[in-house]
Structure 1
Amino acid sequence: MDLSQLKGEYDAIFSLGDLCLASIQLKKHNLRPYSGVLDWMASVELSKVNELLENRFLDFLEYDNLRVIGYADTFICVSDDGYNLVSNHDFDGEKNTLTYLGGYAEVMEKYERRIQRFLSEMNNAKRILFVRTEGTLEDAAVLQDVLSRLVKHDFSVLLINHTYVQGIVEKSWPLEKVCSIEFPNKDKWEGNHNLWREVLSGIRLRT
């Protein structure tokens, strides 16, 4: 799938990680009207995201799988070792400590709402775009397969890998639903704003 095929209107757009970068850029371009499940988490392994989606979020942030890592500014950094996810922005230091996650129920209520909204869009949206940073061809192929069973209607995936390139490089991956491109990895948080703008131009949320 090439970049030109991504253009047009979508009923829903979701970030699939791997960090907050995709969700930040989607919000910057008015393509993220609400938070998705993975917007503010570290989900370094796309294979684990595939597993999470395949399982319809079963055991997501299951208490017995959680491990407190330490402080992240005013928040408690917590790992979901079952899916290799890391939360830096959910467990605030007022309700949670390094030894007691007092705000766990509140966090789970928030994520349950996000999960139900996500799954509802999978069933009802006519066209969905998923945006992911970092992932191999092999994992992208599995993602396409998982989404083909999860999404009732049409979908596309924009996968951006940060490598030693100059500008935007389109990859000719043999995947019908995945558009794979590369961005420069130098200063990827602040140095590629114009590239994101170029890639996301012509992509709109249906209102």
Structure 2
Amino acid sequence: MHVRLGLGDLCLASIQLKKHNLRPYSGVLDWMASIDLSQVNELLENRFIGFLEYDNLRVIGYADDFICLSDDGYNLVSNHDFDGEKNTLNYLGGYAEVMEKYERRIQRFLSEMENAKRILFVRTEGTLEDAAVLQDVLSRIVKHDFSILLINHTYVPGIVEKSWPLDKVCSIEFPNIDKWEGNHDLWKEVLSGIRLRK
């Protein structure tokens, strides 16, 4: 299976894909917060038009050595793009450079949608309703076969598979306690049978 990068909601999916050698490069949403899956659906539906558009950006403050920004158009938050050396709370001197990086990632993503024979999308957090829309949106974007692994963190003791009526979506639940460091074995179990093919 050709594994595409995660679809948010934070960096967790991307980190786990990289840890299991299933992420060959950074994707568009890998290092952003995209809490609302419905907004991600809209972003994909629009083929990323308006993504990080300057007029939609709002400075939140500092995040370590970076300027934290909100893309209010799609309800996204960038924590890792605008470094404090080139950018300030009042001036985004590195904006053009950041957008060049994301334009490359967007074009690579759209190329994968056209050319990859099988794609696995991995997303953390999302409702059944939003997952149904995601499946519908991707069915119109992806030329070949795809699957969606959606992991919600809830009050469960281990892996719980949900029987959602969606052909392309595998929905499972992980424990919500320390989801960043406490579920490594569960991620390993879920991703162990997946291989990346070039």
**TM bucket, shorter chain:** over 0.9
The runs of 5 or more residues in structure 2 that have no matched partner are none
- Which residue of the other structure, out of 121, 127, 133, is the alignment partner of 1:136? 127
Q: Residue 191 of structure 1: CA displacement? A: 0.2
Q: Deviations over 1:136-157 (max 9, x none)?
A: 0000000000000000000000
Q: Residue 33 of structure 1: CA displacement? A: 0.7
Secondary structure class of the residue paired with 1:203? coil
Q: How does 1:94-173 map to 2 (within 5 A)?
A: 94-173=85-164
Q: Deviations over 1:116-163 (max 9, x none)?
A: 000000000000000000000000000000000000000000000000
Q: Deviations over 1:39-74 (max 9, x none)?
A: 000000000000000000000000000000000000
Q: Which residue of 1 aligns with 2:195?
A: 204
Equivalents in 1 of 2:194, 2:25: separation in Å?
Answer: 17
- Which residue of the other structure, out of 180, 183, 188, is the alignment partner of 2:174? 183
Size of the alignment, in residue pairs? 194
Does residue 50 (structure 1) correspond to residue 3 (structure 2)? The answer is no
Q: Which has the higher contact order (CA 8 A, sep 6+)?
A: 1
Q: Residue 190 of structure 1: CA displacement? A: 0.1
Q: Residue 197 of structure 1: CA displacement? A: 0.1
Secondary structure class of the residue paired with 1:71? strand
Q: Residue 36 of structure 1: CA displacement? A: 0.2
Please report the TM-score for the alignment, with normalisation by the length of structure 1: 0.93
Q: Deviations over 1:143-185 (max 9, x none)?
A: 0000000000000000000000011000000000000000000
Equivalents in 2 of 1:114, 1:141: separation in Å?
Answer: 25
4+ long deviations beyond 2 Å: none
Q: Residue 91 of structure 1: CA displacement? A: 0.1
CA RMSD of aligned residues (A): 0.3
Secondary structure class of the residue paired with 2:132? helix
Equivalents in 2 of 1:174, 1:70: separation in Å?
Answer: 42
Equivalents in 1 of 2:74, 2:197: separation in Å?
Answer: 32
The runs of 5 or more residues in structure 1 that have no matched partner are 1-13
Equivalents in 1 of 2:174, 2:126: separation in Å?
Answer: 13
Please report the TM-score for the alignment, with normalisation by the length of structure 2: 0.98
Q: Deviations over 1:10-46 (max 9, x none)?
A: xxxx200000000000000000010000000000000
Q: Residue 94 of structure 1: CA displacement? A: 0.1
Q: Deviations over 1:74-123 (max 9, x none)?
A: 00000000000000000000000000000000000000000000000000
